[in-house]
Amino acid sequence: MPSLELDFNNPILQLLSGVVALLVLASLIGGVLHLRQRGNPSATITNLNQRIVAWWWMVAVLATCFWLGAGATVVLFAFASLVALREFVTLTPTRAGDHWALVASFYVLLPVQYWLIYSDWYGLFAIFIPVYGMLALPILAALQGDTDHFLERTTKLQWGVLIAVYFISYAPALLLLDLEGGMAQNLMLLFYLLLVVQISDVLQYVVGKLFGRTKLAPKVSPSKTVEGLVGGGALAVGVGTALYWATPFTPWQAAAMSTVIVMAGFFGGLALSAVKRSLGAKDWGQMIEGHGGMLDRLDSVCFAAPVFFHLCRYFFQAPAAG
């Protein structure tokens, strides 16, 4: 997979500059709020500043990977999948009979899936885990001879691999697409996906806190409201539409694509919140201060990335030569 030469006229650098400007503004606001409470801020202000610091680190890491090229970006997401899968397995009980299935998940399925992206092998990438991986895991577990809660244990691990590895891998898989504009356009679409997903999460939370009255699914996620989804989602779609110039989309296409991203991301967050509640957990982990675990940051991406990838592949990939 080729690396990417970025210049100052590249849309990615322009958007990264805009994100940095927003983070500077957010840092100033957070600092002022901290000082106004005379150095003894509320839990909300403390959490806000923790999130801002975490965002600085996440943007810095992502920008560095983009600068280093596609290979570094694939490695970054492979690491994210590794951490996310570990978080999932940590919260879901396993037994000694799951040992070889766990080994295969971490040391075979995960690295091979990302190697297929790096090798530009879409045909096998798309079916490797959902076909061969899902067949291998119950076979390995059955060979251990432990039949206690076998279906439950195997299904949990299969679900974890699908969520934390297969679905997340569709984000860097955008680098596989043959788009006009080359690798710069591929990375731009990846940045567009992540930006719209994360802005949607933030805006839905903010609008929900300010105007939310109608709980959408109080037993699953008490903070999610109809007003937050509609208002924050609409604002995120507006941002995605305004960024059409950095994508292969027309304004109307950008509006449709960002709507799909927002809705898929919302339902991804909702579904994984239901999983957490069923396990009696608030967060998947504590890796990112103010944000919870890796899977807490990527729950929306898990559902949005595969849908966005296939829409881009079917409707915007350049026709094959000959």
pLDDT tens-place string over residues 103-114:
999 999 999 999
Residue ending a domain, choose from 169, 197, 229: 169
Which domain, by its residues, includes 11?
Answer: 1-60
Shared-domain flag, residues 194 and 295: yes
Find all residues with CB under 8 Å of 46, minimum gap 6, and list them.
none
Torsions phi, psi of 126, nearest 5? -70, -25
Virtual CA dihedral for 121, 126, 131, 136, nearest 10 degrees?
60
pLDDT at 8 over 60: no
Find all residues with CB under 8 Å of 129, minimum gap 6, and list them.
109, 113, 161, 162, 165, 166
How far apart (Å, rounded) are the C-alpha atoms in residues 59 and 209? 25
Residue ending a domain, choose from 31, 60, 89: 60
Q: How confident is the model at residue 82 (pLDDT cuts 50, 70, 90)?
A: very high
Q: What is the pLDDT of residue 279?
A: 85
Q: How confident is the model at residue 284 (pLDDT cuts 50, 70, 90)?
A: confident
Average pLDDT over residues 109-123: 95
Shared-domain flag, residues 207 and 313: yes
How far apart (Å, rounded) are the C-alpha atoms in residues 147 and 141? 9
Q: What is the pLDDT of residues 171-188, one digit of tens each?
A: 999 998 988 877 778 888
Shared-domain flag, residues 313 and 196: yes
Shared-domain flag, residues 311 and 228: yes
Residue ending a domain, choose from 169, 198, 214: 169
pLDDT at 283 over 90: no
Residue 219 lies in a domain: yes
DSSP 215: B
Residue 177 lies in a domain: no
Buried b / exposed e across 20-59, counting CB within 10 Å, b at 16+? eeebeebeeebeebbeeeeeebeeeebebbebbbbbeeeb
Residue 254 lies in a domain: yes
Q: How many domains does the chain have?
A: 3
pLDDT at 50 over 90: no
Q: What's the sign of the alpha-carbon dihedral 173, 178, 183, 187?
A: negative
Shared-domain flag, residues 144 and 246: no
Shared-domain flag, residues 191 and 322: yes
Q: How confident is the model at residue 2 (pLDDT cuts 50, 70, 90)?
A: very low
Residue 65 lies in a domain: no
Q: How far is CA 314 from the centre of its chain?
A: 21
Q: What is the pTM of this model?
A: 0.87
Q: What is the pLDDT of residue 18?
A: 77
Shared-domain flag, residues 315 and 191: yes
> Which helix H or strand E contains 134, and what residues bound it?
helix 134-143
Q: What is the pLDDT of residues 139-160, one digit of tens each?
A: 999 999 999 989 999 999 999 9
Helices 233-242, 182-211: inter-axial angle, 10-degree rounding: 150
Quick one: what percent of the chain has pLDDT higher than 90?
A: 48
Shared-domain flag, residues 154 and 92: yes
Shared-domain flag, residues 187 and 284: yes
Mean pLDDT of the chain: 86
How far apart (Å, rounded) are the C-alpha atoms in residues 304 and 226? 20
Residue 174 lies in a domain: no
Q: How confident is the model at residue 322 (pLDDT cuts 50, 70, 90)?
A: very low
In contact, 72 and 64? CB cutoff 8 Å: yes
Residue 175 lies in a domain: no
DSSP 87-98: HHHHHS---GGG
How far apart (Å, rounded) are the C-alpha atoms in residues 72 and 141? 34
Residue 66 lies in a domain: no
Shared-domain flag, residues 231 and 110: no
Q: What is the pLDDT of residue 108?
A: 97
Nearest Cα neighbor of 88 from 265, 269, 272, 290 is 272
Instruction: Please measure the distance between the N-terminal and C-terminal CA atoms of the chain and give it in whole angstroms.
Output: 22
Average pLDDT over residues 90-109: 92
In contact, 183 and 175? CB cutoff 8 Å: yes
Q: Which two tokens stand for residue 7?
A: 């210049």
Q: What is the pLDDT of residue 4?
A: 47
Q: How confident is the model at residue 81 (pLDDT cuts 50, 70, 90)?
A: very high
Q: What is the pLDDT of residue 174?
A: 94
Average pLDDT over residues 207-218: 82
pLDDT at 290 over 80: no
Quick one: what percent of the chain has pLDDT higher than 70?
A: 89
Residue 176 lies in a domain: no
Q: How confident is the model at residue 7 (pLDDT cuts 50, 70, 90)?
A: low
Shared-domain flag, residues 189 and 308: yes
DSSP 216: S
